[in-house]
Structure 1
């Protein structure tokens, strides 16, 4: 199976006075399409730096990073920004919502930078929020939403341009247990519908829900089991496909009502 994301001998150093500090030390890693992967490690281990490089938010000092076969080092600024928009969606622990915008306007932001016209992007934002259980919150400011609702807005934003790869940095870290379960349920269904999910976390309960757990320590990978053979389900088509949205999973956050069914499955055969 050809890897969707492939890092080879990635190193990342930062200046420190007259010297430099090496944060990543020869990271080699492959992530296949449709995988759900957790990257774990203590504070200062390099996992956030690795996530930034995976999402093309930072550049390695040396080594090669390929996204769907494309060496990102060969891309100019505009091409790199386009690749980031087309392939990646980001979810952050503290949501990173703009306080002066409504929920729908926050979801629209990636499409604004992609040059999508206003009517189409607003319809897309409302559709995503509706499917995530926030149809009655589209005009609310972030301050009027609970933590779980804000994180669902950030998930909708991550899906705005398609979100082939979802990079989630401590997605449940600021949430109560129930809201955290709902967020993980959404991520599981996105994976089932064809998205690649990469979770950066220090929470072992969150990491245990991934198919593969990669441990990083002092800038080096110390545990990386083989990737499972994954059959990627086609992602559901979204509205306005002719306008360049691509495809994306649309999910519901209603939980299964039957005792004993794994909590993260949205519904079972009896629902």
Structure 2
């Protein structure tokens, strides 16, 4: 057995010395899928950025792929929300995906045949091989999200982080993303995704981490997403509606 992809023990995270997320305890093995669930401002994006070494650990121990978070960044892929990339920037889908190869190529060096093949394969994997030459900005929101996923795939990561990958995504794109994520997990890639969608968390994740200023629960979806835990974590705004369903009403 190798090192865990993620190992957080008693971790507190924050900015300028002020904690915004505390009590994080989790271990994620290769091939496992972890969903981060919680209301807006709960600390989901903070936790994802800490894995990249972009948010300081104020307490506890955070290990990513066996070492310090920043040191593992070259082995980690990141899929932001589509709004993080300027849709007006004059680049094609293939050029966006090629950005995922830069750590292997080196800045200002010419691309190689192996890099161009990796880009084609990544676009094909997300179902957008025919859109390689299309301007990124004219793609639909779901297609742009798939391009950003292809960019991460081109980097061949051991750990993949996705920040709200299904926000504003059409059904076709969501199905394509879910299919790829299942394939990656089966191949041994560890996955961390943040989501507001409890159905996605229940159906896609092996583990769920429920956050709201601190970690409220960690474990299999059936154990971490009970109505009682959700009501407490969401400040009383979780309502059971029967048949195992829970509606979350945020103020």
The normalised TM-score by structure 1 is: 0.71
For residues 176 and 121 of structure 2, what CA distance do their matches in structure 1 show? 19
Moved over 6 A (4+): none
3-state secondary structure, aligned to 1:188? helix
3-state secondary structure, aligned to 1:118? coil
Aligned to 1:84: 73
Structure 2: segments with no counterpart, 5+ residues: 222-251
Deviation at 1:226, TM superposition (A): 6.5
Deviation at 1:157, TM superposition (A): 0.6
**Alpha carbons of structure 1 residues 55 and 121: separation in structure 2 relative to 1, 3 Å:** same
Aligned to 1:197: 191
- Matched residues, number: 213
8 Å contact from structure 1 (residues 104, 125) kept in 2: yes
Q: 2:36 aligns with which of 31, 34, 39?
A: 39
For residues 125 and 41 of structure 2, what CA distance do their matches in structure 1 show? 37
For residues 14 and 56 of structure 1, what CA distance do their matches in structure 2 show? 13
For residues 131 and 222 of structure 1, what CA distance do their matches in structure 2 show? 36
Deviation at 1:95, TM superposition (A): 5.8
For residues 5 and 14 of structure 2, what CA distance do their matches in structure 1 show? 25
For residues 200 and 145 of structure 2, what CA distance do their matches in structure 1 show? 16
Structure 1: segments with no counterpart, 5+ residues: 73-79, 228-271
How do residues 12-161 of structure 1 correspond to structure 2 at under 5 angstroms?
Answer: 12-15=13-16, 21-72=18-69, 80=70, 83-86=72-75, 88-94=76-82, 96-97=84-85, 99-116=89-106, 117-119=110-112, 120-161=114-155
Question: Normalized per residue, which structure has more helix?
Answer: 2
